[in-house]
Structure 1
Amino acid sequence: MPQPKYRKIAVLGYRSVGKSSLTIQFVEGQFVDSYDPTIENTFNKMVSVNGQDFNLQLVDTAGQDEYSIFPQSHSMDIHGYVLVYSVTSMKSFEVVQVLHDKLLDMVGKIQVPTVLVGNKKDLHMERVIKPEEGKKLADSWGAAFMESSAKENQTAVEVFKRIILEMEKVDGNAPSEEKKCAVIGICEQCGCVYIYKRM
C-alpha cells in the first residue's frame, strides 16, 4: 500500500454560501445549519481515492467579499482550492470570480487545481444561477465544476474527491487504474477522462 499523501485544500467563497456546512458534512458526515461565520477552521480527514490514501487538511476560510484582501496564508502550501458559491445568490457568484482572479495573482500561476461548486442546489425555488452558467465559468478557468447540497453527504464527498483528482492531474499522476496500458480520452464537454480499452 503506498504511503498516504498529504494535501492541503482551501475552501473559499462569499459568506453564507455553505463552505463550513460542506466541509463538516464531508469530515463528520453531518449537516450543520448554524455555524460561527467569523472564524477560520482547519479539519483533517483521511480519504482513499483509486487505492491511494490522502491525508487531507481542509482550511475552511471565513467568508470573503470582493473587497477582502486575499490572505497570503491562503496561497501558501495549498495544493488545491474549492471555490463555493450559492446557486441562490448572484452576489456570491460574482464574488467567487473576483476571488479566483485574486487567487491567481497571489499564486502567480495561470492555473491551479480548482473545483467550482454551486452549493444549495436543493433550494430549487430560490435558484438564480443555472448549472450551465457555473459550468461555463469553470470551463473558462480550466477548472472542474459540480453542483452540491451540503445537506447531502454524497455530494460533499464527491466535491473533495474531485479536487483530489484535479490535484493528481497537475502532479502528473493519473488515477492508478489508468496506469495500466490504456487508451484514454478526455471528454470535451466536462473534461472527464475516460478509457477506451485496456491493453
Structure 2
Amino acid sequence: MTEYKLAIYGRGGVGKSALTIQLVQNQFIEIYDPTIEDSYRKQLVIEGETRILDILDTAGSEEYSMMKDTYLLEGEGFLIVYSIVSRNSFDEVRSFYELITRAKDSEDVPIVIVGNKADLEFDRQVSQCEGMDFAKSLNCSFIETSAKSNLNVEEAFVVLVKKINKHRLDNPNNNNNNNHRRSRCEIL
C-alpha cells in the first residue's frame, strides 16, 4: 500500500479538525476545541488501490507554528482550508501558501485550497468563483466542502492524493519522497 503524508493548514476555527474527523471517523464535531496538533491515519481506495493517508491536523494559532515547520518539510501534500463565512480566513490563504512553498523551496507542491462550511450558504462572505479564481492564480486545485453535511470531504483528500501521484510521476528523482513506497502501477 502506498502512503501519503498530508497536512492541513488554515486559520483557527475554519474546520480543519472537523474535516479530518469527518473523513476518519465519519462524524461531525459540533464543539470548537482549538487543536495543538493531531495526527490521523486513514485507508482509502483511490483509483482502485488502497492508499494510507497519514494526516497532520495543524494548529491554527501562531503560538504553535514551530510544530508546523517539521511537517512542512516532510509533508507531500497540503490542504489549505478557509471558511466561506470568514473573509479574514480567506485572506490568510496566501500566507499559508507562501509558508509551504518557501519551506519546500518550490511552487510545484501538491496543494488543494478548500472552502469549508458550504452548508452556511446564507452567511457566505467568499464566493465560490472567488475561491476558484484565487486557487487557479496559485496553480492549485479548489474544492468547497462541508464537514457538517459531509459534502466533498473525502473528495478533497482524493484530489490531493491524485495531485501527489502526478507530482511523484513528474519528479521521480525527488529526494523529498523517500518516505513512501511506490506501487507497481506508479513505477510503470
Q: TM-score, normalised by structure 1?
A: 0.80
Q: Which residue in the other structure is 1:37 paired with?
A: 34
Structure 1 position 75, deviation (Å): 1.3
Q: Distance in 2 between matches of 1:125 and 1:72?
A: 36
List 4+ stretches of structure 1 deviating above 2 A: 68-71
Q: Is the 8 A contact 1:111 1:141 kept in 2?
A: no
Residue by residue, what CA displacement relative to the aligned partner does 1:64-108 show, whole Å, maximum 9, x if unpaired?
A: 46xx56832131221100000000001000111111111111110
Q: Distance in 1 between matches of 2:72 and 2:35?
A: 20
Q: Which runs of 5+ in 2 are unaligned?
A: 171-185
RMSD: 2.1
Q: Which residue in the other structure is 2:161 paired with?
A: 164
Q: Which runs of 5+ in 1 are unaligned?
A: 174-178, 180-199
Q: Which has the larger radius of gyration?
A: 1
Q: Is the 8 A contact 2:73 2:103 kept in 1?
A: no
Q: Distance in 1 between matches of 2:142 and 2:35?
A: 27
Q: TM-score, normalised by structure 2?
A: 0.85
Structure 1 position 53, deviation (Å): 1.3
One-letter identity of the residue aligned with 1:137: F
Q: Which residue in the other structure is 1:109 paired with?
A: 106
Q: Is the 8 A contact 2:17 2:35 kept in 1?
A: no
Is 1:148 the counterpart of 2:145 in the alignment? yes
1:45-124 matched pairs, under 5 angstroms: 45-64=42-61, 71-124=68-121
State the percentage of identical aligned residues.
35
Q: Which residue in the other structure is 2:126 paired with?
A: 129
Higher helix share: 2
Q: Which residue in the other structure is 1:184 paired with?
A: none
